[in-house]
Amino acid sequence: MTDAARTALQQLQQELDTGAEPQGSLRALIRSLLDAPAIGIDLDGCIDEAPEWFRTLSYVWPGNVYVITYRRDGEKARRDVAHFGVRCDEVILVDRFDAKATVIADRNISVYFDDQDEMLLHVPEGVTVLKIRNGGNFDFDERKWLFSDVTGRQI
Cβ distance 126 to 145 under 8 Å? no
The domain that holds 67 is classified in CATH as: 3.40.50.620
Q: Where are the alpha helices (DSSP H) in 2-98?
A: 3-18, 23-34, 51-60, 74-83
Residue 86 shares a structural domain with residue 129:
yes
Q: Is residue 152 part of a domain?
A: no
pLDDT for res 32: 61
Residue 7 shares a structural domain with residue 73:
no
The domain of 49 spans: 37-145
Q: Is residue 150 part of a domain?
A: no
Residue 31 shares a structural domain with residue 48:
no
Residue 23 shares a structural domain with residue 47:
no
Residue 68 shares a structural domain with residue 79:
yes
Residue 11 shares a structural domain with residue 87:
no
Q: How many domains does the chain have?
A: 2
pLDDT for res 135: 95
Residue 15 shares a structural domain with residue 47:
no
Whole-prediction pTM value? 0.78
Cβ distance 6 to 34 under 8 Å? no
Neighbouring residues of 57: CB distance < 8 A, sequence distance ≥ 6? 39
Residue 54 shares a structural domain with residue 72:
yes
- The string of pLDDT tens digits covering residues 24-66 is 666 666 666 567 899 999 999 999 999 999 999 999 898 899 9
Closest C-alpha to 46, from 38, 55, 34: 55
Residue 25 shares a structural domain with residue 46:
no
Residue 60 shares a structural domain with residue 110:
yes
Residue 63 shares a structural domain with residue 99:
yes
Query: What is the rounded CA–CA span in Å between residue 106 and residue 145?
Result: 30
* Four-CA torsion 131, 137, 140, 141, nearest 10 degrees: -150
- The string of pLDDT tens digits covering residues 88-137 is 999 999 999 899 999 999 999 999 999 999 999 999 999 999 999 999 99
